[in-house]
Structure 1
Amino acid sequence: MRIAFYGSSLLSSYWNGAATYYRGLLKQMALLGHDVTFYEPDAYDRQKNRDMDPPDWCRVVVYDATEEALARVTAEAADYDVVVKASGVGVFDNELLVQTMAAARSDAIRIYWDVDAPATLAEIQPDAAHPLRVTLPSLDAVCTYGGGQPVIDAYTALGARAVHPIYNGLDPETHHPVPADSRFSVDLAFLGNRLPDREKRVEDFFLDAAARIPEKSFLLGGSGWGDKHMPDNVRYIGHVGTGDHNAFNCSPMAVLNINRDSMAATGFSPPTRVFEATGAGACLICDAWTGLEMFLEPDTEVLVARDGRDVGEIMSGLTRERADEIGKAALSRVLRDHTYASRAQEVHRLLRAMRDAKAEPTPA
């Protein structure tokens, strides 16, 4: 099928945590025979901070963040069999949704793809006039970054016809073990941009842990943390491009993942970092959340912490040998059960089912 995907950015991970998800999933969709075009705005300096050239498996259309360009690219939705509007594009989000779905052919499959369902639901649940609330009943489906049954129930209650969580996964061609890099050789590393509903949990799980064990070394990567007060044993290195993610994950003794407040409170979804890190063979320490055991086995494939005290205790007793064992077990698990190839097969089956349902004659 010909798929138009309107999202934040495929070419840049700069202030764009969904980049890995888009790349892994859409590459595999293309390998299944789908013709994919990704539409992304020139916004937030993402095009100045590209970490990927346009791939041969996807046509990428970069458009100016103007109303004129918006009208042009949304009108092109009429040329596709599947029209997808993702959440969090960042420019003209509501207009993109309304105009792309209005332009789509009557026989086209129309999907809203939510890469941050808890935040979206918090925004639209109290506002019956929100454009997404108004549009939901006319869409064929909502696909989400994850969230499990709580997110399915919430979207269904708001009028969605069907809700399908498509979880993050691993692209083993992109994320895989590499030799250690001295730039990232510390005891514990965390990578994540500074966001309002992440900051307190980073303080609790990472900075508090660092303060508890000053003899250990910590590394913080991601945008926006430059003026944050940190313990002396924390080194901040700013934005880490995707080209360095494997080395960032392979070099420390352990890597920390911290869900944002909204993701911890509503449903569950393993962030891209979980599979980036485990795909590189890292020993992952993860904050506790419902559903984690669906993806990795606690104590065998992942270490689980409830707070900074737990992180500190884990790091105090963790040896390199134990960390290597956990990293190897996690890598084996994600290669078996959690690749983007398997996620794409899920989407492929969904699209075929929706296409067939549209082709069925309407009962008299």
Structure 2
Amino acid sequence: MDAFYASVELLRRPELRGKPVAIGGHGEPSRRGVVTTATYEARAFGIRSGMALRRAAELCPQCVFLPVDFDEYRRYSRRFKAAIATVTDRIEDRGIDEVYIDLSAVQGIRVDGGAPVARDIQRRVLEATGLSCSIGLAPNKLLAKIASDLRKPGGVTIVDEADIPALIWPLPARRINGVGPKAELQLEELGLRTIGELAAAPLSMLVARFGANYGRWLHEAANGRDERPVVTASEPVSMSRETTFERDLHLRRDWQALAACLAELCREVAADLRRRGYAGRTIGVKARYDDFRIVTRDQTLPGATDDAAAIRRAAFECLGRVPATRRLRLLGVRVAGLARTGAGAEPPRRGAAGASTAPGASSAEPAPLAAAEQAELPLSGEGNPLAL
């Protein structure tokens, strides 16, 4: 989907069309927060996802800032995915605004490279949501993902194997989904800046620098090879919630505020688990210091739980093992080792009074006080993943 959150907001505020708009945090650049997404007009000023709101305001003083509204974004997410499902049920859900689609069995996919089918999907999504989407049509998911970003907004890009040298190889290596900032820096040190340069690099050099698995994967990806199927049914591996503080908090001096935040995050994660019918065994805490270093701590329980009290007890035990060396700017809670809680599933662990048992977890956390909370899309065609 094209600038998904921002586009949803523009449906509610059509007077902002054509103006630079950024979505993030509480929608106030004077308060701490980061940009979740931005309109293309805002991106022209250099505003990007993950950028501090204050920095975005410096780059574009006339930018309009809006708070995130995840309930509304989820509603539109369900709508656009339902529209795609009228074409095929071979859909791999990749998040709130992204899917891969296997169009190999769709009638007409071999006509004009699948372009008529892609445009039909765009029409259905537009009618269902009022939003535009960009589609990449390719032989595999990796190429479809890259192609979906080439003609935004509202574009259809078809990439066959013969198109790789002209369309894919001139792009920066970071355009490969799976090449992050650290890998990009290491590639630059090797003199490899484009996908084409990476494709031409000796496999032995990549393996020596990145190891056997990642080195071979880089070589395959740069040459447009990807054997992953479109996965239409999968189970989540974890659920989490996190928040960035208005001001940095110290683990000792600001304990009450941190305790309130952690307790609220635990309640939110527990509600997410129950709503989706899961329980988890491993409870983890993520903390980001004021120098942006991240530390995580976790605890595995004897049995899966979806109970807020049990999650809270384990989370506080984990937080107690986070070194109080610097102030914290972010705190998160994660529940992993998920299992279904429906019919036939082992019931989640709960204590006699309705609270889950978590042997070994500390029960010395202070009483909870209050407060906090905090995701864009691809399609695929003939054997072709279509990335939106």
Q: Which has the higher helix share?
A: 1
TM-score in same-fold range (> 0.5): no
TM class, shorter-chain normalised?
Answer: under 0.3
